[in-house]
Structure 1
Amino acid sequence: MDGTLAALFLIAGLTDMGINHCGDGGCLAQSPETERFSISAGDVDFQKATVSKELYLRYDFGRRYGPFQPVAGASLTADGTAWIGIGAAWTQRFAGDRAYVQLALMPGLYSQGSGPDLGHAVQFRSGVEVGYETSKGVRFGLSYDHRSNAELSGVNPGMETVQFRVSIPVK
């Protein structure tokens, strides 16, 4: 996987911003959003082979700037790799606001541990999640993400994860 998910995040978010968020308060006007804590687990794939399991924690801040919600995350794999980052998510709801698709882009720092050499400590995590939100605001989703260093070094093999995520509103 290349930068496709990052490009989709930018295209969807900026298009939404231009159509729905550029009013009197400006295109990146702050508005409230549901604050959430998420936990997910799943497989880590490297060079088309499953190489480890990952636990990923994420916090979605309780506000948006235009269509973008700030998010922060951290992950740890069974083989000792770690990643921590901060970025933004863009969410589109459908099916009576119960179903959603979410794209996220988060630059962060990667520690190799006993895992794959990704070529650089800086890794960009871009992902997509599709899921369902209950009437109490709890979300259940399937996510896929890609990490790479965006050609910051000559070595840039990338790494993918497929996970099941549960997101719980904080308030």
Structure 2
Amino acid sequence: MRRLLVAVVFLLSAFSSSVVADEARVVMGLGNQMGPGSPELSARYIAAEPVFGHLHPTVGMSVAGNGSAFVGLGAAITFGKHSEGIFARFTSMVGAHRQGNGRNLGGPLQFRNALDIGYRWASGVEAGLGADHRSNAGLDRPNPGLNTIYLFASIPLD
């Protein structure tokens, strides 16, 4: 399933005319871990220059009220208009997970995929709703995964 998702993102990146050549930005999120029911604060930096096709390097972190945390790096791709309008952004990262008093995800190595849907104003400021999923991709047991729903705001750095 993961390979199929990666293949779809690469194909969309290579052939889609609606892919946005994004500027560097910081994305801040405030949400809730589903299941554990713990509030979570997240931050991501998306670099301006793509590394492959339309994939922009990304580094991110999150901290939850239950003491769990994540830090990782990966890539993001944004679909929509560069100017004002609705957009969708897919981010995929690999990183380290700290369990704290949160759910046991099976080990410190975790993969985190997120989908953000929002609105971009002419100034470049964005806001919207996002969801992400963390999993060890079956590398460790258990592998219950963790989902988070969040509201986000983003500002361009250029």
TM-score where L is the length of structure 2: 0.89
Q: Which residue number in structure 2 is paired with residue 35 of structure 1?
A: 24
> What is the CA distance between 1:13 and its match in structure 2?
2.3
Of 143, 154, 157, which residue of structure 2 is paired with 1:167?
154
Deviation for aligned residue 1:91? 1.1
Return the letter of the residue paired with 2:11: T
Q: State the Cα RMSD in Å.
A: 2.1
Q: Which runs of 4+ in 1 moved over 2 A?
A: 16-21, 94-97
| Map of 2:143 onto structure 1 | 156
Give the Å deviation of 1:38: 1.3
Mapped to 2, the partners of 1:7 and 1:72 lie a distance apart of: 23
CA distance change for structure 1 residues 95 and 72 in 2, over 3 Å: closer, same or farther? Answer: closer
Which of 3, 6, 13 is residue 9 of structure 2 equivalent to? Answer: 13
User: What secondary structure is seen at the aligned counterpart in 2 of 1:56?
Assistant: strand
List runs of 5+ in structure 1 lacking aligned partners. 22-31
Aligned positions of 1:123-142 closer than 5 A: 123-142=110-129
| Counterpart residue type for residue 99 of structure 1 | I
Match for residue 76 of structure 1 among 49, 63, 70:
63
Residues 21-57 of structure 1 deviation map (CA, whole Å, 9 limit, x = unaligned):
9xxxxxxxxxx63000111101101xxx352000001
Q: Are 1:16 and 1:67, in contact at CA under 8 Å, matched by a contact in 2?
A: no
Residue 44 of structure 1 aligns with an amino acid whose one-letter code is: Q
Contact 2:79-2:89 within 8 A present in 1 as well: yes
Pick the structure with greater CA Rg: 1
| In structure 1, distance between residues paired with 2:79 and 2:15 | 13
Q: Report the CA distance between 1:97 and its aligned residue.
A: 5.3
CA 96–103 in structure 1, closer or farther in 2 if over 3 Å, else same: same
Q: Is the 8 A contact 1:13 1:68 kept in 2?
A: no
Over 3 Å counting, the alpha-carbon distance change for 1:92 and 1:39 in structure 2 is same
Superposed, which structure 2 residues align to 1:46-125 within 5 Å?
A: 49-64=35-50, 65-94=52-81, 98-125=85-112
Q: Higher mean Cα deviation, 32-41 or 138-147?
A: 32-41
Identity of aligned residues (%): 32
Superposed CA offset, 1:60-103 (max 9, x none): 11111311011110000001101000000111105975111111
C-alpha separation in 2, matches of 1:7 and 1:126: 14
SS of the aligned residue for 2:23 comes to coil
